[in-house]
Structure 1
Amino acid sequence: MSAARQHAVIGFGRLARALVPALQATGAVVRVGRRAPAAGELTPTQAAAGADWVWLTVPDDHLAAVAQALPWQPGQLALHCSGATPLAALAPAPRVAGFHPLRLLVGDANLSGAHVGIEAAPADREALVALAQQLGLVPLALPWPMDAAARAAYHAAANVAASGVLAVLAQAQALWTSAGLPADAALPALLPLTRGALDTAAARGLPGALSGPVARGDVGVLQRHLAAAAAGLPAGDALVRELALQQLRLAEQAGRLSAVQVTALRDCLIHA
């Protein structure tokens, strides 16, 4: 059981501040190593000494250097919690694995309830899945081994689903203000629409959550949206046009439009 393991956590940023108490709550012994320890604190080398599992929770650009600097002991398992960095960065360690929680860590956010991407050799996967379940996480099996291109695509998907939504909301806010409405009213008015769309998608899937002129086959309204975007956005209507094309694909998947409607919408978006 993980409670019998000795854990070292190297670095103490936002992720470590959620991970350490979560590990301790399972009964595990956890020692934290800091680059510049204060009195009574441990260095990375001191924390890692005798640990079974060594978690590297430093920024991605520092992972390889920290892994290279640690005096690894036989049998130790090195883990990082990065979504983007291949496990090759941990190559100096005897065994390596990835444990990436799909959670935005803001304020006092904890890990429980999130999916966690686990990339591990078959010999280590079962123990990591068991730990994820103890922490209240939903294990998500990543390919083993996962190459750099796959890692980048996986992490890009997570980023688009998180900060990408903020970029879309920024464009919505710009359109809102171009209509002469106060900027400070945009998010309070628009966020309930975003939350409603996400909640519906969770219940019905992406195609089933689609609404608006594309879902209805309303070419006239879509044309007016594109004209407003061309006039009101710094980059013109390019983003709104591309988003509408993606919505059209979802509408086709949902089977909500006739062939005539699909053709009319596509002509509006591609040829207009």
Structure 2
Amino acid sequence: MIHAVIGYGRLARALVPALQAAGQQVVVGRRFPVGGELGQVQAARAADWVWLTVPDDQIAATAASLPWRPGQLALHCSGATPLTALSPALAVAGFHPLKLLAGDAGFGGVHVGIEADAVYGPALEALAHALGLVPLRLPTPMSGQARAAYHAAANLAASGVLAVLAEAQSLWNAAGLAQSEALAALAPLTRGALDTALARGLAAAVSGPIARGDAGVLARHLQALEAAGLEADLLRALGQRQLALAQAAGRLDVAQITALRALLAAH
């Protein structure tokens, strides 16, 4: 089997060597080939499976520009784009690694969302295992709304954490501590929370004043934000969700819940 990878951004630079290491034959098709490289059409004609690793807003146009034939599979690796973007092809599938591409290039242990019919699903799952990925079967067909929700969840779990750390860094600085030390000091807390959640579940892992029902400490947190000239919207939103987790764990009584809810709802 020959794989054609169309486009050569971050994802392709991780996918191509992974496919090759798994014993797959791969050709790369570029929009503007140089030095003996293949163009996109030439690469697609040579392949059995054609991977479109171009940006999301280019997937549909790229698929429309390629000469598809029966027996050929078109794939994209987007989390947010529905497979209808590949509709010029006769057979389509999605293969979305849940991985931060800004990190290392390896796929080991990463889940991959697979949207495929019964013909290609088993082969894609087998390929995922060969690449060291953990297959995650997505609903097939998956609506555009479902795709957006799935991708939003992934983005919130990735860059959403960075937004929380940025807020924490601002508070760290407001406390008179060196901003250069903030991330190194705070990141182990983030890792610890994630490790505990993986071992015990989200509700059992929640900690801090809200989990303890300590309204006094929460009030001082809110006052510290005001004194630092920072908006309290993020802390309140996160606090409300932490409160729901603490309630699910059965750790708070009615009086504690009422006091915490009043603080978090204040404007």
Match of 2:257 among 238, 262, 266: 262
Match of 2:191 among 188, 195, 199: 195
- Determine helix, strand or coil for the equivalent of 2:210: helix
Once the two structures are overlaid, the 10-residue window that deviates more, 247-256 or 223-232, is: 223-232
**Counterpart in 1 of 2:247?**
252
**Counterpart in 1 of 2:145?**
149
Deviation at 1:271? 4.1
- Cα distance in 2 for residues equivalent to 1:188 and 1:182: 11
**Counterpart in 2 of 1:69?**
65
- Determine helix, strand or coil for the equivalent of 1:31: strand
What whole-Å deviation, never above 9, does each CA across 1:35-64 have from its counterpart, x for those lacking one? 111111100111111311100001111111
**Counterpart in 2 of 1:126?**
122
- Cα distance in 1 for residues equivalent to 2:145 and 2:206: 31
**Counterpart in 2 of 1:40?**
36
**Percent identical residues:** 67
**Counterpart in 1 of 2:22?**
26
- Cα distance in 2 for residues equivalent to 1:206 and 1:120: 31
Aligned length: 267
Deviation at 1:226? 1.1
1:97 pairs with 2:101 = no
Structure 2 residues not aligned, in runs of 5+: none
Structure 1 residues not aligned, in runs of 5+: none
Superposed counterparts of 1:174-213, under 5 Å: 174-213=170-209
- Cα distance in 1 for residues equivalent to 2:193 and 2:177: 23
What whole-Å deviation, never above 9, does each CA across 1:218-266 have from its counterpart, x for those lacking one? 00000111111233254x1111111111000000111111222112211
Deviation at 1:141? 0.8
Match of 1:6 among 2, 7, 22: 2
Deviation at 1:270? 1.8
**Counterpart in 1 of 2:113?**
117
1:169 pairs with 2:142 = no
What whole-Å deviation, never above 9, does each CA across 1:125-163 have from its counterpart, x for those lacking one? 111111111111111011111111111110000000000
- Cα distance in 1 for residues equivalent to 2:10 and 2:158: 17
Once the two structures are overlaid, the 10-residue window that deviates more, 107-116 or 12-21, is: 107-116
What whole-Å deviation, never above 9, does each CA across 1:103-130 have from its counterpart, x for those lacking one? 1122542112100000111221111111
Match of 2:232 among 233, 237, 240: 237
TM-score by length of 2: 0.97
- Cα distance in 1 for residues equivalent to 2:147 and 2:34: 35
Match of 2:52 among 56, 72, 78: 56
